[in-house]
Structure 1
Amino acid sequence: MQKSYEEILEEFSENLKVLRKKQGLSQEFVAGIELSVRNYQKIEAAISTPSLRTILIIADGLGIHPRELFDIPSLKNRPMVKEITTRNRKSAKKKTTKK
């Protein structure tokens, strides 16, 4: 069964917390000067959804590539990704066949 976006956000937030603690960093340090500590805490608690800008700030604070924040099981093998890939392949075949 496919997980909801809320469940994925919870996994994202948990992954964020694990990555931060693994490096022994405080929430204040990761938030840095560009993000309020309270906002960071809300993201880590899955209360708030981060913007792309915020994700980049957090990744920078952790010293990691942003993709590492999305290394969560729920995003792997999602049917939608497979469906889009299949659709794109079919579309590409139709274009080459019409020539």
Structure 2
Amino acid sequence: MKETDEWKIILAEFSTNLLKIRNKLGMSQEETSGLELSVRNYQKIEKGESFPSFKSLIIIAKNLEIDPSVLLDLPSIKKFINIKSKKSKNSLHNK
């Protein structure tokens, strides 16, 4: 799988997770974006059109009253990190 495909999968999973959490908490997009993040930017993140910046991730988590790690607890991220760390360990051992 190409790295760009992996990022698309991560983004899709992130946006699905975000939508699920927001709906479970019964919050609107306006409430979730708050005053510090434009609703339009939030909508792009939730639709999977763009990754949130670190600042946006923190703002969203704060407004949802959850730990930011909940938003990033995704199988695709764990798989991506595991694959990358194995490659790094192998290259370190071969030197």
TM > 0.5 fold call: yes
Which letter maps to 2:86?
K
Which letter maps to 1:44?
E
Q: Which of these residues, 51, 55, 58, is aligned with residue 56 of structure 1?
A: 58
2:86 pairs with 1:82: yes
**SS at the partner of 1:64?**
coil
| Inter-partner Cα distance in structure 1 for 2:71 and 2:58 | 10
Deviations 1:10-45 (A, max 9, x none): 110110000111111111001000011111011000
Contiguous gaps of at least 5 residues in structure 2: none
Which segments of structure 1 move beyond 3 Å, counting only runs of 4 or more? none
Which letter maps to 1:81?
S
| Structure richer in helix, relative to its length | 2
Show the 5 A alignment for 1:31-70: 31-70=33-72
**SS at the partner of 2:79?**
coil
**SS at the partner of 1:76?**
helix
| Inter-partner Cα distance in structure 1 for 2:54 and 2:13 | 17
Contiguous gaps of at least 5 residues in structure 1: 95-99
Q: CA deviation at 1:83?
A: 3.2
| Inter-partner Cα distance in structure 2 for 1:75 and 1:63 | 22
**TM score, norm. by length of structure 1:** 0.79
**SS at the partner of 1:4?**
helix
